[in-house]
Amino acid sequence: MPGTRRHISIVLTGLCLTAPAAAGVLRGVVRVPTLLPATAPSVSNYPGHATAMPGMHMPARGLVTDAVVYLEQVPAEVDSALAVAAVAAPRPQLAQRNQSFVPRVVPIAVGSAIEFPNLDPIYHNVFSLSKPRRFDLGKYPRGQSKTVVFEHAGQINVYCDIHSEMEAFILVLPHHAFTQPRPDGSFELPSLPPGHYKLHVWHPDFHEIEREVEVPADNDLAVDVSL
């Protein structure tokens, strides 16, 4: 993965919170250090060129909202309920805006589709060479959108063939038990039956970590993650 690699530590503590019978919630806070340096723009984007926009376009790295918190496995009945809820949610988007991909990270479940709308007054050409899902959407202008379905789990690195500094990440997961932190770093996963789980914290700019956690039947579990 790109960017500076740093060690991630995780501390697990119990929270005495009221929870539904025989169910617990895994919640907590992800903390990040000072923002990493932005990626320098490609020298191939000449000012005034028809395929470039004026100004600097350097995406921030190390944002807490780029993290993905997920469980390695969940009970089938839990995932089935989450899948039903996901049907009613808007389809995820990875837009091209201000010569960047927005958002930079999109987590989805296997079998989900993502829309790629072009919101810029210039052409983009979205593609990926990642093994779980290779695609090339071709060049298309503002106002057009294309859709890709992702049938296999894994990390998808997304680029623009015209603007080499543009990069985004799609994390395709085998189930729906995942979330991303809010801007303040707080997060919570769906209610879970008590038991043993493997927690993952993924970020495009840091090493992924995994920890064994035990969700109790009568308490929630708090997870404090520091990058």
| pLDDT per position as a tens digit, 156-197 | 999 999 998 899 999 999 999 999 999 999 999 988 999 999
Report the pLDDT value the prediction gives residue 5, as an integer from 0 to 100. Answer: 43
**pLDDT higher than threshold 90 for residue 32:** no
CA-wise closest residue to 101 among 169, 183, 202: 169
- The answer to whether 221 and 27 have CB atoms below 8 angstroms apart is yes
Report yes or no on 221 lying in a domain.
yes
Q: SS3 of 113, please?
A: strand
- The 10 Å CB-count burial string (b at 16+, else e) for 114-151 is bebbbebebbbbbbbebeebebebeebeeeeeeebebe
Q: SS3 of 143, please?
A: coil
**pLDDT higher than threshold 70 for residue 65:** yes
Instruction: Tell whether 172 and 182 lie within a shared domain.
Output: no
Its pTM surpasses 0.75: yes
DSSP type of residue 59: -
Which of the residue ranges 14-18, 44-48, 189-193 would you say has the lowest mean pLDDT?
14-18
Instruction: Tell whether 101 and 116 lie within a shared domain.
Output: yes
Instruction: Tell whether 151 and 213 lie within a shared domain.
Output: no
Instruction: Tell whether 163 and 182 lie within a shared domain.
Output: no
Report the pLDDT value the prediction gives residue 39, as an integer from 0 to 100. Answer: 53
Report yes or no on 171 lying in a domain.
yes
Retrieve residue 152's tokens: 């296999």
CA-wise closest residue to 191 among 68, 78, 28: 78
- The answer to whether 189 and 179 have CB atoms below 8 angstroms apart is yes
Q: What is the CATH number of the domain that holds 199?
A: 2.60.40.1120
Confidence of residue 148 (pLDDT cuts 50, 70, 90): very high
Report the pLDDT value the prediction gives residue 121, as an integer from 0 to 100. Answer: 94
Report the pLDDT value the prediction gives residue 37, as an integer from 0 to 100. Answer: 55
Report yes or no on 168 lying in a domain.
yes
Report yes or no on 17 lying in a domain.
yes
Total domains present in the chain: 2
CA–CA separation, 225 and 227 (whole Å): 7
- The CA-atom distances, in angstroms, between 9 and each of 72, 182, 207, 225 are 18, 19, 11, 6
Q: Domain ends where: 159, 176, 193?
A: 176
Q: What range defines the domain where residue 98 resides?
A: 90-176
Segment 49-53 mean pLDDT: 68
Dump pLDDT digits (tens) for 72-88. Answer: 999 999 999 999 988 88
Instruction: Tell whether 67 and 3 lie within a shared domain.
Output: yes
Mean pLDDT score of the chain: 84
Q: SS3 of 77, please?
A: helix
Report yes or no on 198 lying in a domain.
yes
Instruction: Tell whether 14 and 69 lie within a shared domain.
Output: yes
Confidence of residue 47 (pLDDT cuts 50, 70, 90): very low
Residue with the larger pLDDT of the pair 71 and 216? 71
Instruction: Tell whether 116 and 163 lie within a shared domain.
Output: yes
Instruction: Say what percent of the chain tops pLDDT 90.
Output: 61
Segment 38-44 mean pLDDT: 48
Instruction: Tell whether 199 and 221 lie within a shared domain.
Output: yes
Partners of residue 199 on adjacent β-strands: 71, 211
Instruction: Say how many C-beta atoms besides its own lie within 10 A of residue 170's C-beta.
Output: 24
Instruction: Tell whether 109 and 144 lie within a shared domain.
Output: yes
**pLDDT higher than threshold 60 for residue 40:** no
Dump pLDDT digits (tens) for 79-126. Answer: 999 999 888 889 999 999 999 999 999 999 999 999 999 999 999 999
Partners of residue 186 on adjacent β-strands: 29
Instruction: Tell whether 69 and 140 lie within a shared domain.
Output: no
Q: What is the CATH number of the domain that holds 156?
A: 2.60.40.420
**pLDDT higher than threshold 50 for residue 208:** yes
Instruction: Tell whether 120 and 159 lie within a shared domain.
Output: yes
Report yes or no on 39 lying in a domain.
no
Report yes or no on 100 lying in a domain.
yes
Instruction: Tell whether 190 and 167 lie within a shared domain.
Output: no
Report yes or no on 185 lying in a domain.
yes
CA–CA separation, 117 and 111 (whole Å): 20
Q: Strands, E, within 38-177: which ranges?
A: 68-71, 95-97, 100-102, 105-109, 113-117, 124-128, 135-140, 145-149, 154-160, 167-173
CA–CA separation, 81 and 189 (whole Å): 13
